[in-house]
Amino acid sequence: MPASPARRAALNVLRRVNEQGAYADRALHGESKELDARDRALAKRLAFGTVQRRATLDWIVARHVDRKLEPQVRAALQLGLYQLLYTDVPQHAAVAESVELAKPSPGAKLVNAVLRKVLREGVELPADDNPKGAAIRHSHPEWLTLLWWDWLGAEEARALLAADNEPTELALRVNPLAGVDVDLAGRREDDALVVEGALDVLSHPLYAAGAITPQSRASQLVARAVDPQPGERILDLCAAPGGKTTHLAALMGDQGEVVAVERHPQRAQALMTQAGRMHATSVRVQVADAKDVSAELLGGMFDRVLVDPPCSGLGTLSSHPDLRWHATPESIEELRIEQEAIVAAARGVLAPGGRLVYSTCTLSPREEIVDGTVVRTLPHRDKTDGFYIAVNDG
């Protein structure tokens, strides 16, 4: 019997991530187009979970296999181990379908043997009382585990590593500009609504009406830190996809001007679409590189400037499981250079006495380049994304 379409799609996503360095969400979008909603959800769960637990799974594989594996066989074995160890998928289905995914390679027999041995004997992972063991048990790069161990201390680091592998809460932002009552069940905090249970947000009528949009509670703190006032001129740099941009417009009652700068034309177009859906008529999108902005280019100075630059995203690992494998110390240093250039440009267009807010969705001290009044969220403590937000008043 051939493997199910969902597992076949999950295998293809995993191979693209492992072999091509693809991002899991983009790979899934391409591989799941022909799947129905149920199969798409299963493919996402299996692919994202396997990517997330890759270091742990590879450690287990290395203890059972003493030769190099074909990419397809390794991916099938990883998927099978993930299902056995971290899901409630029936064991016989996890084994049988993983073997099918490895065919026609002779390595399918090895997949069968390893999975059945794990079923018989179980797995004992290293203790997480040291960085090396914690990196394996919680499936993070060792360099990142060491960084957090030194920065936060052992207890906090272990809690953060564990939280990164837990499901994220479903947080929405309720948009008053839509003028629509939102009657979804959940916990309300300011504009945030933490939904109880599952919800297909993007197909919901409230989403189409612009009354709700997915946005983490931590992300929603950013626009509130900017504290835009009606009639002011606000600049949002690196603005796409527009969650914070449209929140700024909502907080000022859509009275004033929010100039949203985005350098990629396609992302700028998506940002305009988002502003339209969210009834944010005060938003004006400017296609430009944030490092090159000037008062001349943007038509004057700004009362408040938000800098939300490209960052390593290490505060969002529960919802973006592959970012942990893309980030490196070297890439963080490259990002820091870009971040500093954007902040310098932002200061050049900030009116005297204005407010600069710098935010990143990461947990990386090297990217905390602006001081001031600081808000930091931590996934294990605050149950939302990890953010660094610094408010600097002129």
Q: Do 312 and 323 form a contact (C-beta atoms < 8 A)?
A: yes
Closest CA to 77 of 110, 47, 48, 105: 110
Length of the chain: 394
Q: Which of 237, 361, 390, 391 is catalytic?
A: 361
Task: Say which DSSP state 170 is in.
Answer: -
Show the beta-strand stretches assigned E in 180-297: 186-189, 192-195, 212-214, 233-237, 257-262, 283-287
Spatial distance between the Cα atoms of 130 and 182, rounded to a whole number of angstroms:
47
Q: Do 151 and 365 form a contact (C-beta atoms < 8 A)?
A: yes
Q: Do 381 and 218 form a contact (C-beta atoms < 8 A)?
A: no
Spatial distance between the Cα atoms of 92 and 112, rounded to a whole number of angstroms:
11
Q: Is 311 a catalytic residue?
A: no
Single-letter residue type at 37: A
Q: Please give the backbone phi and psi of residue 371, each rounded to the nearest 5 degrees, phi first.
A: -95, 180
- The residue with tokens 């190099």 is 68
Single-letter residue type at 383: K
31-47 core/surface letters (b: 16 or more CB in 10 A; e: else):
bbeebeeebbebbbbbb
Positions marked catalytic: 361
